[in-house]
Structure 1
């Protein structure tokens, strides 16, 4: 497929927007059953959205980061768990594009393939003839219930045998044991279960050392000159998720204003909440917070897209600023959700009102280790003070 024939950003965002009513319709069932409905997964595939980060030679679109952010935002406006899971699939499709070309041929041979995964080491790998034998367990494995492949990270001996380093491996989900332990307060429908590997052999072609990957030394030859596949891994992966919290903030705004007409403020003289000055102050503050969140999210995406297109080297401060932008976006969006939630009245605690789910999902997202605002502020502050980052994930 020629990349020139790929849909535009506006077209892809429109397709995602058209799915919002379907996602809203199934959101309660999905939360109760702690997984995405098959109908939702199929609709995402039918819309062509799983191809956003697939190489053009396999029928993919090779979309830039801003497009991913905008599509995720729309999906999360319908349901945050769907938006988050889709973001993970987009990230892992991109990660697959970093592997040797023969591995990509294997994975992308399945149309609209879904690749899930995570970046934290959860296992140990030992050398075996032609590859590694992996044992371990990986919690928070979003998308595993609906995926064909899974990217996992394990600690393996370095080539000289003197130490250990993390390696990224692609494995069929069918080779993993699934532990149904995703009982949570937020993002319940993401089905982010634990997966387990027991003496799992992984051929060396499907193994990438994380050290070189974190420094943009990728294994694919055919993708080497493609801007989308030469961005830094951690900023790319983290920024791809930020649309989830933007979509939640927009959803909170929509739910609030849908319920506003006819509502009064109980135990006050206000027969119409819409006429109360406190409401005006609240909704104006929330609007400003959403604007701030979108500014930071879009600035992060713009930097990734600009530098990848130009082929420029990355400075440490630029990498850290991506983390800062994401921390700001997540925090500001959650604050906006909190404003709408607190102004929604006691009736919003009923499970039939989406606001309570939106608030729980926003809280959950802000606890993510890579996205936690305080962690990201500290990282950027260290760099501004001339200190080395205290993490490899930058």
Structure 2
């Protein structure tokens, strides 16, 4: 693809990117990550970005993860999304009790998956919990080793959500990922039926949201001390940036020699409508990257997380994705009728960005309303900060 001036992503292994691009059509059709792509991702350390160093992890900064995810997502958004989800859930595992981490990462970094939405219940049974539930949108489930789950347990004070780690092999995978976007992410539904899990694998979600993490050995490590929701935001935002940059590059690749049918323009590059689209899209890409970098730098630099900072993190995530999606939409609308074919990247890029912005934690309008509410002097109306 054509390199665009706005792209600041680091150079990833050429072989890795070629493997990802070669298997993107297969992943779209089969709705999961290709085995050869998984092998290349493991070899390149992409599932080690947020694993503790003592278990062979890289403990990368948020800015470094942003650049890696953006570069990968420029090759394929679904692959970037799966890696981002693994980074988030590996980070979550790294805040659990140390003995749980030792089990999950016993053989070094592994791919993980999970969600922030409660979808199940746990009941006490001796030293264990019996887990039952159903969790949707579990990206990367077919190839992951462990899943983080959120379930509800009854306590004397009432129902309480808990977060824990479960071997993916103990769960049923439901192949229901038939979607318009991020098709290659394998975001299956998972089901637990009386799955026995040690109680030590779970921690109270309210404690997690207050940075009261259970890990002793990671307590002094900066990348494992940041707040949960802003961390998840910063580790996923690179997907939007990479997709936006891919859309601009793909449009420029197709531009030479194309005409605008039923007009006098035999060269699309000479048409003012093309100039306007390219100018608008390029600025939107840059603005998306700015919001993403702003978010990553907040996580790398901020030491005090009041409600305003937490809300701003969500707003930056939503805005970065909105700008990226708008950029792709502008180019998609100016790509001609032939762009609806599956082998033309811009339609897939626009679909992937639409799917991403519909995520409940990313949705731009929801996050913008939340920011405005706090600026107006009202308390946030969500615990997911």
Mark yes or no: TM-score above 0.5. yes
TM-score (structure 1 length as normaliser): 0.94
SS at match of 2:60: coil
Relative to structure 1, the CA distance from residue 316 to residue 16 in structure 2 (aligned partners, 3 Å threshold; closer, same or farther) is farther
1:6 maps to which residue? none
Q: Distance in 1 between matches of 2:46 and 2:140?
A: 15
Shift of 1:156: 0.8
The alpha carbon displacement at 1:18 in A equals 5.0
Q: How many residues align?
A: 377
Question: Is residue 2:383 matched to residue 1:388?
Answer: no
* Partner Cα separation in structure 1 for residue 311 and residue 226 of structure 2: 14
The whole-number CA distance in structure 1 between the counterparts of 2:53 and 2:62 is 16
Residue 263 of structure 1 aligns with which residue? 258
Contact 2:148 2:165 in 1 (8 A): yes
Quote how far apart the aligned CAs of 1:16 are.
5.5
Q: Partner of 1:364 in structure 2?
A: 355
Q: Does 1:179 align with 2:205?
A: no
Structure 1: state its 5+ residue gaps: 1-11
Deviation of 1:48 after TM superposition, in Å, equals 1.6
CA contact (8 A) 1:16 1:74 kept: no
Once residues 11 and 266 of structure 2 are traced to their aligned partners in structure 1, the CA distance between those partners, rounded to angstroms, is: 38
2:313 is the alignment partner of 1:322: yes
Aligned to 1:342: 333
Unaligned segments of structure 2, at least 5 residues: 1-8
- Name the CA shift for 1:300/1:18 in 2 (closer, same or farther; >3 Å): farther
Q: After superposition, what is the alpha-carbon deviation per residue over 1:183-239, rounded to whole angstroms, capped at 9, x for unaligned?
A: 111111101000000011111110011001000000000100110010000110122
Change in 2 beyond 3 A, CA 1:17/1:318? farther
3-state SS, counterpart of residue 94 of structure 1: helix
1:102-133 alpha-carbon deviations (Å, 9 max, x no partner): 11111111233111111100001111111311
2:77 maps to which residue?
A: 80
How far is the alpha carbon of 1:101 from its aligned partner?
Answer: 0.9
C-alpha deviation, 1:379, in angstroms:
0.7
* Secondary structure in structure 1 of the residue aligned to 2:68: helix
Partners of 2:222 and 2:61 lie apart in 1 by 8
Q: Does 1:112 align with 2:109?
A: yes
Task: Name the residue aligned to 1:237.
Answer: 232
Instruction: Give 1:14 shift.
Output: 2.4
Contact 2:121 2:132 in 1 (8 A): yes
Q: How is 1:24-35 mapped onto 2 (pairs within 5 angstroms)?
A: 24-35=21-32
Which segments of structure 1 move beyond 4 Å, counting only runs of 4 or more?
none
Partner of 1:89: 86
SS in 1 for 2:131: strand
2:57–2:108 CA contact under 8 A, matched in 1? no
